[in-house]
Amino acid sequence: MCLSTLRIEEILCFTLSLLRSNVFAVAKLVAHKYTLGCVVGERERERERERERERERSIYHVFPFHFVVGRITPNLQSQTFEELGSKFQNLKPGGLYSPNQCVARHKVAIIIAYRNREEHLRILLNNLNPLLQKQELEYGIFVVEQEEGCRFNRAMLMNIGFKEVISMYDYECFIFHDVDHLPENDFNMYSCTGNPRHMAVAVDKFGYNLIYGSYFGGVSALSKCQMEAINGFPNRYFGWGGEDDDIYTRLVTKQYKIVRYALDIARYKTIRHQRDKGNEDNGDRSILNF
């Protein structure tokens, strides 16, 4: 087959791919077209056109520069769940989302441990959904609520959320998110890497600085493999504090390196609140973490 036997639309598709794809992808595309031959049946031609459309749809930037802008101001406006439902009509039942314009490179589950913070949850959802969609992620947001009657156990709720999600879906990346943390920079990608990532590095209540080197609280990203390697979060911390340091110890014990973005990117604003009843300071956290 020679180049002259290519149809005009095929040449145009090839040119578009040349502009968008890397050299190796283009070489593969050319080789594939040269092996089609001149007597391809109409059914095979339709399959090829469908594969072509899928390739075009799959061209997705590793970093979606065309949507994200960098520093953003969190929206502290409280909207009802009905208003949020009207605002985000592109969400599927269960709070799931996948972009229409591309095949998402990352498929992410956001897990939020929660109790008695409905207003904070609504504010977080109002901020988180636009950011995740600008980053062109396929995602689901899962809220794990603890009943009244005992002290709050954030880590156990995270474990429950993880186990429930993997029993129903095939997510490979998990973002464990405090309900009162609002992102301030959409360059802070909600995705996983080969090492665990601490996402809430610079938080306003700590002066936008990392308070200590082993801090792993607020928002963190771990892959399914990483969670299974460390046997999840510790279940023994009832009340406030301790589980973040414990999870850090588990990770470094397994030879993981903690990844952190720059302070200007990994920024979060916290919603001010009083310490919840049932989430009092865990006085034994230093002993449990020993």
What are the pLDDT digits (tens) for 78-118? 899 999 999 999 999 888 999 988 888 899 999 999 898 99
Mean pLDDT of 115-128: 95
199 and 273 housed in the same domain? yes
15 and 131 housed in the same domain? no
50 and 141 housed in the same domain? no
Tokens representing residue 252 in the block: 């470094």
Contact in structure between 276 and 116 (CB atoms under 8 Å): yes
Flag whether 75 is in a domain.
no
Flag whether 139 is in a domain.
yes
The CATH number that applies at residue 231 is 3.90.550.10
Q: What is the pTM of this model?
A: 0.73
Using one digit for the tens of pLDDT, what is the confidence trace for 160-177?
999 999 999 999 999 999
Flag whether 36 is in a domain.
yes
Higher pLDDT residue, 274 or 116?
Answer: 116
Contact in structure between 201 and 260 (CB atoms under 8 Å): yes
Predicted confidence (pLDDT) at residue 159 exceeds the cutoff of 90:
yes
Contact in structure between 184 and 74 (CB atoms under 8 Å): yes
Residue 268: closest CA among 211, 195, 194, 192: 211
Flag whether 76 is in a domain.
no
Q: Cα–Cα distance between 174 and 169 in angstroms, integer?
A: 12
Q: Cα–Cα distance between 124 and 118 in angstroms, integer?
A: 10
Contact in structure between 233 and 247 (CB atoms under 8 Å): yes
What are residue 226's phi and psi, to 5 degrees?
-65, -40
Please give the tally of structural domains in the chain. 2
Model pLDDT, residue 12:
38
- Rg for the chain (alpha carbons), in Å? 23
109 and 36 housed in the same domain? no
Confidence band, pLDDT 50/70/90 cuts, at residue 143: very high
CB atoms within 10 A of CB 225: 10
21 and 136 housed in the same domain? no
Model pLDDT, residue 239:
80
Distance of CA 112 to the CA centre of its chain: 12
Range of 15's domain?
A: 3-58
Tokens representing residue 59 in the block: 């061209």
223 and 160 housed in the same domain? yes
Using one digit for the tens of pLDDT, what is the confidence trace for 34-58?
333 334 456 666 776 666 555 555 5
Using one digit for the tens of pLDDT, what is the confidence trace for 7-38?
434 433 433 333 344 433 333 333 333 333 33
Using one digit for the tens of pLDDT, what is the confidence trace for 202-254?
999 999 999 999 999 999 999 999 999 999 999 988 886 778 899 999 999 99
Helices 23-34 and 8-20: angle between axes, nearest 10 degrees: 160
Confidence band, pLDDT 50/70/90 cuts, at residue 271: very high
